[in-house]
Amino acid sequence: MAPRKKVTKEEYEAERDRPSLEDVFKKKGITRDFLANKLKEELEAGDTQEIRDKEGKTLETKHYPLWAVRQRARQDAHKLLGDYPAEKIKHSGDADNPIQHEVKVKFIGGSGKKNKR
């Protein structure tokens, strides 16, 4: 098993005090409404093609959907709404290095004395 890296108090506090990803997004203007609007744009994605004559005069304009973009947006929407079952991912190591999960919890603080009742 690989040696465990010890986390210092400073590293723990820095991670604990770090703003959430949602807060960082919000600060940059990436809100749920913003994402919903972008998703709607993608669900309606299309392109325009103009046919011009030799002088550059537009003879015809065609609008057509971008099906690949719309399909990916539709799949994203279904995932966000929870319409698809959760993906199952198997984790395994090889014969020499099987994956092992070990968690040790150390409570910090307090007097270190047990409460007497």
Angle at 73 between CA 68 and CA 77, to 5 degrees: 150
pTM score of the predicted model: 0.55
56 part of a folded domain: yes
Q: Are the C-beta atoms of residues 42 and 70 closer than 8 Å to each other?
A: yes
Count of domains observed in the chain: 1
49 part of a folded domain: yes
Summarize pLDDT for 62-110 with one digit per residue, the tens.
999 999 999 999 999 998 888 877 777 776 667 677 666 666 666 665 5
103 part of a folded domain: no
Summarize pLDDT for 11-59 with one digit per residue, the tens.
888 888 888 888 999 999 999 999 999 999 999 999 999 999 999 999 9
43 part of a folded domain: yes
| Helix or strand (DSSP H, E) at 8 | none
63 part of a folded domain: yes
Range of the domain at 55: 29-80
